[in-house]
Amino acid sequence: MIGNFVYCNPTRLHFGKDAPNALREELQRYGKRVMLSYGGGSIKRNGIYQTVLAELRAAGKEVFEDGGVMPNPTVEKLAEGCKIARENEVDLILAVGGGSTIDYAKAVSVSAYCSEDPWDKYFVRFEEPTCKIIPIGCVLTMVGTGSEMNGGSVITNPAAKLKIGHVFGAEVFPKFAILNPEYTFTVPKYQMVAGFFDILSHILEQYLSGEDDNTSDYIAEGLMRSLIHSSRIALQNPTDYEARSNIMWTATWALNTLIAQGKTTDWEVHMLGQAVGAHTDATHGMTLAAVSMPYYRHILPYGLAKFCRYATHVWNVPAEGKTPRQIAEEGLCAMEQWMKELGLVMNITELGVDPSMIEAIADSTLVMDGGYKVLTREEIVAILKASL
């Protein structure tokens, strides 16, 4: 059954090798003063920065540089960006990078003119913006988060040991997004495969919830099959345009709000992964990979029918002569095998966690109630221990 919903995705998305040509026209819709936000320098090495800057100049923009957005952007960097945006009265924030840079740009857009502490308002109390919002646009260089077409913004508070996401409304989504699959060719393999797993995880967080017959779940299965197929090709040949373009498009659909419409969702893997991230600053996709198998094996009995469907529809597990439990477990084994093929990090020890940190990571883990089992504190600790 599809529940009630209102669907609106306001991001205008330009996809393909020619997508960067649309940047100038998009820029012309906004005022003269543009804040250019980017990460640690990859865009300068691969030439994307030079291309974007040329377009900004050709569009007659005054550019205010805001580099150095780190993976897992922090509240401290957010404050720095707000200062640049406010003091220069920017008309647009152009984020060039991956999820970290785009998430950060969204946070700056709602915080630059916020009279309260943005961390408390948005990431602790989950309130909606009441101040002026600066529009953002983006040029995506790393695939995985879906940040290019959603309202998600994940910020880390290192002092509080918390990494929390706020899902903002349509007014905070990027106004436009430029997606050229070729821009992702230079992403290092570790980041590339972490992004692939992030995509699968986003789909699973929405798929592994509820037991009704729901169109969104059929879409989710198609997206997962496409991802698994293309990921194997991209692993062998990272510059295979067909595979990388399919993955880029899959990532967008995995988390642009479509497949969550009219159904319940889980997101507990992300809560566990983000807690690990808050304590280790590890790569997002790897934190998810490291906790996923223990979590799914733990909740499998509570969502057996769906895990069975996942095994047969997505991993092609033959069902004949097997119990539902056997089918479901074989599905998870097939998923685990694929994860190992990609070279994902399969435990949190490798990400810097030691047993003495488990209780503190459990303290940082938010508990969701849309999955097959609402976790108790003891279960969170047990899953984290099993992830070591």
Give the binding site for Zn ion (CB under 5 A). 198
Among 20, 195, 331, 371, binds ligand NZQ (CB under 6 A): 195
First to last CA, the chain: 39
Q: Which residue is nearest to Zn ion (CB)?
A: 198
Which range, of 148-156, 170-178, 245-253, 351-359, touches ligand NZQ by CB under 6 A? 148-156
| Residue nearer to ligand NZQ on the CB measure, 165 or 303 | 165
Residue owning tokens 């642009």:
256
* DSSP state for residue 305 in the 8-state scheme: H
Kindly compute the dihedral angle of the four CA atoms of residues 152, 265, 257, 48, in this order, to the nearest 10 degrees.
50
Taking the complex as a whole, the smallest distance from the CB of residue 218 to ligand NZQ amounts, in Å, to 23
Taking the complex as a whole, the smallest distance from the CB of residue 271 to Zn ion amounts, in Å, to 11
39 interacts with, out of Zn ion, ligand NZQ, none, CB within 5 to 8 A per kind: ligand NZQ
**92, two tokens:** 């647009």
Query: What's the CA gap between 219 and 185, in Å, rounded?
Result: 27
| Residue nearer to ligand NZQ on the CB measure, 250 or 327 | 250
* DSSP state for residue 26 in the 8-state scheme: H
Q: Are 113 and 86 in contact (CB under 8 A)?
A: yes
191 interacts with, out of Zn ion, ligand NZQ, none, CB within 5 to 8 A per kind: ligand NZQ
- HSE of 161, CA atoms in CB hemisphere, 13 A: 13
Does 165 bind ligand NZQ (CB under 6 A)? Our answer is yes
* DSSP state for residue 116 in the 8-state scheme: S
Taking the complex as a whole, the smallest distance from the CB of residue 98 to ligand NZQ amounts, in Å, to 2
The residue type at 352: G
Does 180 bind ligand NZQ (CB under 6 A)? Our answer is no
E strands, the chain, where?
12-15, 33-38, 62-66, 92-97, 136-140, 152-157, 162-167, 176-179
Residue owning tokens 């089992």:
373
183 interacts with, out of ligand NZQ, Zn ion, none, CB within 5 to 8 A per kind: ligand NZQ
Among 9, 51, 157, 186, binds ligand NZQ (CB under 6 A): 186
| Residue nearer to ligand NZQ on the CB measure, 20 or 71 | 71
Does 97 bind ligand NZQ (CB under 6 A)? Our answer is yes
**381, two tokens:** 């600790």
Question: Footprint of ligand NZQ on this chain (CB under 6 A)?
Answer: 39-43, 46, 71-72, 97-101, 103, 141-142, 144-147, 150, 152, 154, 165, 183-184, 186-187, 191, 195, 198, 255, 270, 284-285
